[in-house]
């Protein structure tokens, strides 16, 4: 069998290099710019026979893209370190990793035991094409690089410029 001449292989190689360059441009790092995520305080509630008050929040994705949850915590005014939110399975909470555009959900967060004002904080990032490709690669055990060429950088997701933090209004005293 005769191999194709160099003249016929060159357009294929150029197309491959051009395609990789376009893919790298699409997947290049851009800071997160989601602005349409709103956390609103809806009121207080509690469960029967339980003295702990829970604040009800509405988290609304009014942005143009799906977002991915990166974490949540409670800040208490005057306390240096954030606290994990108190949740109760009998009250609304989300375990899903993403929130689609145009969707809202309710979350119930227990009031911290420390005195003073507090607020609920939510960190998220846009669910980009790069993240969806990386998820697909991990789920299907696919390579994220070709030789020395890194196509999907999983460490970039952890870069602080890739996420945005929103805060509820201050509650309490």
Q: pLDDT, tens digit, for every residue of 25-40? A: 554 545 455 568 899 9
Q: How far is CA 152 from CA 69, 148, 157, in A?
A: 20, 12, 10
| pLDDT score, position 146 | 78
Q: For residue 160, what are its two tokens?
A: 């602080």
Confidence of residue 119 (pLDDT cuts 50, 70, 90): very high
Please list the residues that pair with 106 across neighbouring strands. 58
Q: What is the pLDDT of residue 84?
A: 94
Token duo for residue 16 = 């491959």
In 3D space, the residue among 97, 103, 111, 96 whose CA is nearest the CA of residue 41 turns out to be 111
Q: What is the CATH number of domain 30-127+161-167?
A: 2.60.40
What are 4's two structure tokens? 């194709």
Above 90 in pLDDT, residue 73? yes
105 confidence band (pLDDT: 50, 70, 90): very high
**Position 5 pLDDT exceeds 90:** no
pLDDT confidence bin for 4, thresholds 50/70/90: low
Band the pLDDT of 169: cuts 50, 70, 90: very high
The predicted pLDDT at position 19 comes to 61
For residue 94, is pLDDT > 50?
A: yes
């Amino acid at each position: 069998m005769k191999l194709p001449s160099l003249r016929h292989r060159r357009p294929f190689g150029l197309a491959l290099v051009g395609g990789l360059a376009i893919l790298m441009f699409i997947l290049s790092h851009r800071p997160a710019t989601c602005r349409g995520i709103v956390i609103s305080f809806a009121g207080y509630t509690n469960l029967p026979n339980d003295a702990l008050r829970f604040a009800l929040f509405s988290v609304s994705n009014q942005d143009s893209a799906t977002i991915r949850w990166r974490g949540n915590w409670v800040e208490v005014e005057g306390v240096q370190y954030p606290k994990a939110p108190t949740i109760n399975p009998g009250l609304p909470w989300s375990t899903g990793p993403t929130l689609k555009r145009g969707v809202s959900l309710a979350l119930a967060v227990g009031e911290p035991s420390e005195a003073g004002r507090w607020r609920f904080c939510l960190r998220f990032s846009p669910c980009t094409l790069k993240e969806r490709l990386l998820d697909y690669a991990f789920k299907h055990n696919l390579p994220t690089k070709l030789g020395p060429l890194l196509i999907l950088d999983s460490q970039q997701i952890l870069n602080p410029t890739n996420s945005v933090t929103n805060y509820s209004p201050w509650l309490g005293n």
